[in-house]
Amino acid sequence: MKNVYFIGIGGIGMSAIARYYNHAGYNVSGYDRTPSKLTANLEKEGIKIHFSPCIGAIPADIEETLVIYTPAIPKDMEELVYVQQKGYRLIKRSRALGEIASTQKCLGVAGTHGKTTTSTLLSHLYTHSGEGCSAFLGGISKNYHTNLLLSKNPVLVAEADEFDRSFLQLFPDVAIITSTDADHLDIYGDVNTIRDAFAEFAGQIKEDGALILKKGVTLDLSNVKAKVYSYSFREEADFCPRNTELQQGGYFRFDLVYPQFTTLKGETVPAGILEGCTVGIPGWVNVENGIAAAAAAMLGGVEPQKVKEALAAFQGVERRFDIHINTPQIAYIDDYAHHPQELSSAITSIRNMFPGRKITAMFQPHLYTRTRDFAPEFAQSLSMLDELILLDIYPARELPIEGVTSEIIFKDVTVGNKVLLKKEEALEYLRGRDIDIMVTFGAGDIDRLIVPIEEMLKERIK
C-alpha cells in the first residue's frame, strides 16, 4: 500500500487518521465538502484536498490504495460509489482506527458526552508526565494545538465514538465510560439498544485490563472480564474528590482519593490520597473528567504525583467549555454541547462560576433527528438560561424532516427573553443586546461566529 485516500477528510476524526498516515510516509489525499481551518492545516502539511467530487483525483492504482470513508458521507456520493464498483480496499474510519490501535496498548474513552475532553486530558497526562502516548482526539488540544499525538511509547489513547457503533472496532486495555444517555436514536432506536452497545464495548476490554465507569451509569457488566472501577465528582467512588473547594473563576481545589490497584506495567499501587489537586480549566464537569482521566493514567502506570502536576497544566480543548473572554464586565464561552444533558451540565457549571450574572446563550441544534427526538429535553435545558438566541437546525449529513424545525424547541422554552433567528441574522441582533455572560452552543457551523462575536465583545470592554 502506497496511497491512502479519504472521503470526508475534513472531519475531526478523519483528519487525525489522515495526519497519522501522512507522518508514516504514505501518499495521502482526499475529498471534503467544504474548506475549513482543519482542511487548511492538512494542506499545509502537504495533503492534497479537493472540495467537489472528482473521480480523477482518486489514485488510479487500485492494488496500492486504501480508501477510508466516514459514515457521514451519503451512500450515493459518486466517489464512494466509484471505489466500491472498482474494487478498492474500502474501510470506515472506525476500522482504520481499530487496526492502528490493535498494535498498541489501547486506552479507549467512550460516552455519549465528555469523551473528547476526557481523552484529551488523558493524552495530556501521559505526554506532560514524560511517558508519552499516541492519541487520536475528537477535538483540538489547546496544549498541543492538534488532534493527533505521536510517540514511540506503544500506548494509544483513542476517543471511542458510539456513532455508527464505531467503538466496537476497539479492544482496549483500559476504557473509560463517561455516560450512556439516549443519543443517535436514528441509529439505535432507543436508549436500551445504546446501552447494549456500550455493554458490548465494555465486554471487549482485555481480561487483565480495567473499566473506569462513571458511578450511576446504567450498564450490564455481566460480560465484562476486566476489573471495574467507579469514579464520580459528587458521590463516594473508587476514584473521587474530597475536601473540594470552589475557587475564584470556577476553578476547584480537591484531594483525589484512589484505591489499591495494579497497573498495566504489573506494579501494585497502594490506596492513597493525592492532595491539593487542581484542573487547569474551570467547571465541576472538567474536574469529573479529570478524575476519570487520572484514574486511567494511574492504571496505565503514570506516577500519581506526575498526574497531579499534569492536571494543573491542562489548557483544555478548542470548543469544549472554551473561555475566550473572562472579565468583570463581559465573559464569553464557546462550547460544543449539542445534547440536552451536555447543555444542562454546561449551564450549571457557568452558573457555578458566575453566580448572580445574566447568561445569554446562542444555540444551533445539530441534526433533524436529534432535534425531533429530544425537543422537550432541549427546551427544558435551555429554559435554565436568562436569554436565548435559537438558530435554525444544522443538518450535517441529514435531509430535512417534515415538521421538524427549531420551532419545536423554541415554543416550549420558558425564558421570557427568547428569539428564533437565522445564523446570518445573529451578529446584527447581538449588536443591540446588553451582554453580561455570552455563550455559544452547538456542533454545527456556529463555530464560524466565534471570532466575530469575540471581536465584537472585546470592543465593548475597551
Q: Is the model's pLDDT at 23 over the cut of 70?
A: yes
pLDDT in tens, 358-376: 999 999 999 999 999 999 9
Contact between 212 and 290 under an 8 Å Cβ cutoff? The reply is: no
Q: Which residue has the cell 448572580?
A: 356
Short-list 231, 114, 228, CA closest to 162 = 114
End-to-end CA distance of the chain: 57
pLDDT at 398: 86
Stretch 381-408: mean pLDDT:
95
Is pLDDT above 70 for 182? Answer: no
- For residue 178, is pLDDT > 70? yes
What is the model's pLDDT at position 220? 95
Element (H, E) at 347: helix 340-353
User: 348 has which bridge partners?
Assistant: none
> pLDDT for 126-140, tens place per residue?
999 999 999 999 999
97-149: per-residue pLDDT in tens?
A: 999 999 999 999 999 989 999 999 999 999 999 999 999 999 999 999 999 99
> Grid cell 492545516 — which residue?
41
Per-residue pLDDT of 260-275, as tens digits, reads 999 999 999 999 999 9
Percent of the chain scored above 70 by pLDDT?
99
Report how far residue 305's alpha carbon sits from residue 284's, in angstroms, rounded to the nearest whole number. 21
Is residue 12 scored above 80 in pLDDT?
yes
Q: Which residue has the higher pLDDT, 285 or 406?
A: 406
Whether the pLDDT of residue 44 is over 90: the answer is yes
Exposed / middle / buried, residue 34 (Cβ in 10 Å: 0-12, 13-18, 19+): exposed
Give, in order, the Cα–Cα distances in Å from 216 to each of 160, 237, 260, 285: 20, 10, 21, 15
Domains and CATH numbers, the chain: 3-92 (3.40.50.720), 102-312 (3.40.1190.10), 322-461 (3.90.190.20)
Q: How far apart are CA 294 and CA 370, in angstroms?
A: 32
Alpha-carbon distance of 80 to 199, in angstroms, equals 32
Structure confidence at residue 201 as a pLDDT band (50, 70, 90)? very high
289-332 pLDDT tens trace: 999 999 999 999 999 999 999 999 999 999 888 999 999 899 99
**246 vs 189: which has the higher pLDDT:** 246
Count how many Cα atoms sit within 13 Å of the Cα of residue 163 in the half-sphere of its side chain. 14
Q: Describe the chain by its helix, strand, coil percentages, rounded to 5.
A: 35, 25, 40
Average pLDDT, the chain: 95
